[in-house]
């Protein structure tokens, strides 16, 4: 670590302590050149994947955006905020665990729909109607029929959605 006082690149750690809830470490250092002390902070590097939108644009994964869609779909439904938060955390963690730099937005949408389908069919249909851009009542009917058929999944999105590993 370069000394901010004299610019020497040799320093030694005199003291280390966790800051806050362990999210970072405060290190007290002493410069080997001028013997002055200074403080540095270390935080783990956070890996944030990028989302490939349907039109080809890329943007940073925004946890809040996914959560907002879930909250809207689950409004006045018996799905707890804790469950929604935990799902989004697992989704992001799964992407990060695979070290994917980019993920198709369609894949994320399908993961959200699978979660909602298991949790609450009404929230699922609400989300699907926006996500799949239903234009008439027939699309709703088809989705609900597919949802009610035992042992079948609701219809897949029109375009093929790659597995998360295919996008990185």
Asked whether residue 156 is assigned to any structural domain, the reply reads: yes
At 161, the pLDDT band (50, 70, 90 cuts) reads very low
- Determine the pLDDT at residue 163: 43
Q: Are residues 75 and 143 in the same domain?
A: yes
Count of domains observed in the chain: 2
Helices (H), ranges, 4-132: 63-73, 81-97, 105-119, 121-131
Q: Are residues 123 and 161 in the same domain?
A: yes
Higher pLDDT, 69 or 134: 69
Q: Are residues 124 and 62 in the same domain?
A: yes
Q: Are residues 87 and 137 in the same domain?
A: yes
Asked whether residue 5 is assigned to any structural domain, the reply reads: no
Backbone angles phi, psi at 106, to 5 degrees: -60, -35
Q: Are residues 121 and 140 in the same domain?
A: yes
At 103, the pLDDT band (50, 70, 90 cuts) reads very high
At 97, the pLDDT band (50, 70, 90 cuts) reads confident
pLDDT per residue over 104-127, tens digit each?
Answer: 999 999 999 999 999 998 999 889
Q: Are residues 28 and 56 in the same domain?
A: no
pLDDT per residue over 50-81, tens digit each?
Answer: 999 999 999 999 989 999 999 999 999 999 99
Q: Are residues 21 and 80 in the same domain?
A: no
Higher pLDDT, 158 or 39: 39
Q: Are residues 32 and 93 in the same domain?
A: no
Q: Are residues 108 and 132 in the same domain?
A: yes
Backbone angles phi, psi at 104, to 5 degrees: -65, 140
Asked whether residue 1 is assigned to any structural domain, the reply reads: no
Asked whether residue 2 is assigned to any structural domain, the reply reads: no
* Boundaries of domain holding 23: 11-42
Spatial distance between the Cα atoms of 64 and 52, rounded to a whole number of angstroms: 17
Asked whether residue 68 is assigned to any structural domain, the reply reads: yes
Q: Are residues 91 and 110 in the same domain?
A: yes
pLDDT per residue over 22-61, tens digit each?
Answer: 678 999 999 999 999 999 988 776 678 999 999 999 999 9
């Amino acid at each position: 670590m370069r000394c901010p006082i004299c610019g020497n690149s040799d320093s030694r750690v005199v003291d280390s302590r966790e800051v806050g809830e362990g999210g970072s470490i405060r290190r007290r250092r002493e410069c080997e050149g001028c013997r002055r002390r200074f403080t540095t902070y270390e935080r783990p590097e956070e890996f944030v994947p990028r989302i490939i939108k349907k039109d080809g644009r890329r943007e940073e994964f925004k946890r809040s955006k996914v959560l907002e869609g879930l909250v809207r779909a689950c409004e006045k439904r018996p799905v707890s905020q804790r469950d929604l938060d935990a799902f989004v955390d697992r989704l992001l963690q799964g992407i990060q665990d695979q070290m994917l730099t980019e993920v198709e937005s369609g894949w994320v949408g399908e993961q959200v729909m699978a979660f909602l389908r298991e949790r609450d069919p009404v929230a699922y249909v609400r989300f699907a109607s926006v996500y799949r851009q239903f234009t008439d009542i027939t699309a709703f009917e088809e989705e609900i029929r597919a949802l009610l058929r035992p042992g079948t999944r609701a219809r897949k999105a029109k375009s093929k959605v790659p597995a998360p590993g295919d996008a990185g």
